[in-house]
Amino acid sequence: MAVDMRLPTVKNSMSLSVSAAGRKDLVVPGDVITSDTGFMRGHGTYVDEDKLTASVAGEVQRVDKLICVRPLKTRFNGEVGDVVVGRITEVQQKRWKVETNSRLDSVLLLSSVNLPGGELRRRSAEDELTMREYLHEGDLISAEVQSVFSDGALSLHTRSLKYGKLGQGVLVQLSPSLIKRQKTHFHNLPCGASIVLGNNGFVWLYPTPRQQEEEAGGFYTSLEPVSLSDREVISRLRNCLLALAAHKVLLYDTSVLYCYESSLQHQVKDILKPEVMEEIVMLTQQKLLEQES
Sheet with 193-197: list strands edge to edge.
170-173, 202-207, 193-197, 186-188
Q: Give the pairing of strands 154-158 and 106-113.
A: parallel
Q: Give the phi and the psi of residue 218 in degrees, each rounded to 5.
A: 85, 5
Nearest-approach distance from CB 166 to another protein, in angstroms: 21
Q: Evaluate whether 209 touches 194 at the Cβ level (below 8 Å).
A: yes
Biggest distance spanned by C-alpha atoms of the chain: 67
Q: Give the pairing of strands 140-148 and 58-63.
A: unpaired
Residue 13 touching another protein (CB under 8 A): yes
- Single out the segment in contact with another protein by CB under 8 A; choices: 65-73, 120-128, 140-148, 199-207: 65-73
Nearest-approach distance from CB 72 to another protein, in angstroms: 5
Residue 80 touching another protein (CB under 8 A): no
- Single out the segment in contact with another protein by CB under 8 A; choices: 72-80, 108-116, 124-132, 206-214: 72-80
- Single out the segment in contact with another protein by CB under 8 A; choices: 33-41, 54-62, 122-130, 194-202: 54-62
Q: Kindly write out the interface string for residues 100-139 of this chain, putting x where it contacts another protein by CB under 8 A and - elsewhere.
A: ---xxx----------------------------------
Cα–chain center distance at 85: 7
Q: Evaluate whether 231 touches 176 at the Cβ level (below 8 Å).
A: no
Tell me whether residue 21 or residue 125 sits nearer to another protein (CB atom): 21
Residue 47 touching another protein (CB under 8 A): no
Tell me whether residue 46 or residue 274 sits nearer to another protein (CB atom): 46
Tell the burial category of 280 from Cβ atoms under 10 Å away from its Cβ (0-12, 13-18, 19+): buried
Residue 28 touching another protein (CB under 8 A): yes
Tell me whether residue 268 or residue 282 sits nearer to another protein (CB atom): 282
What are the b/e assignments for 219-239, b being 16+ CB within 10 Å? beeeeeeeeeebbebbbbbbb
For another protein, the binding residues in 168-207 under the rule CB under 8 A are 177
The span from the CA of 222 to the CA of 287, in Å, is 36
Tell me whether residue 58 or residue 217 sits nearer to another protein (CB atom): 58
Nearest-approach distance from CB 13 to another protein, in angstroms: 6
Residue 7 touching another protein (CB under 8 A): no
Q: Evaluate whether 251 touches 203 at the Cβ level (below 8 Å).
A: yes
Which of 34, 41, 61, 71 touches another protein by CB under 8 A? 71
What are the b/e assignments for 134-157, b being 16+ CB within 10 Å? bbeeebbbbbbbbebeeeebbbbb
Q: Kindly write out the interface string for residues 219-258 of this chain, putting x where it contacts another protein by CB under 8 A and - elsewhere.
A: ----------------------------xx----------
The span from the CA of 186 to the CA of 160, in Å, is 13
Binding residues vs another protein (CB under 8 A): 13, 15-17, 20-21, 23, 26, 28-30, 44, 46, 48, 53, 55-59, 71-75, 89, 97, 99, 103-105, 151-152, 177, 247-248, 285
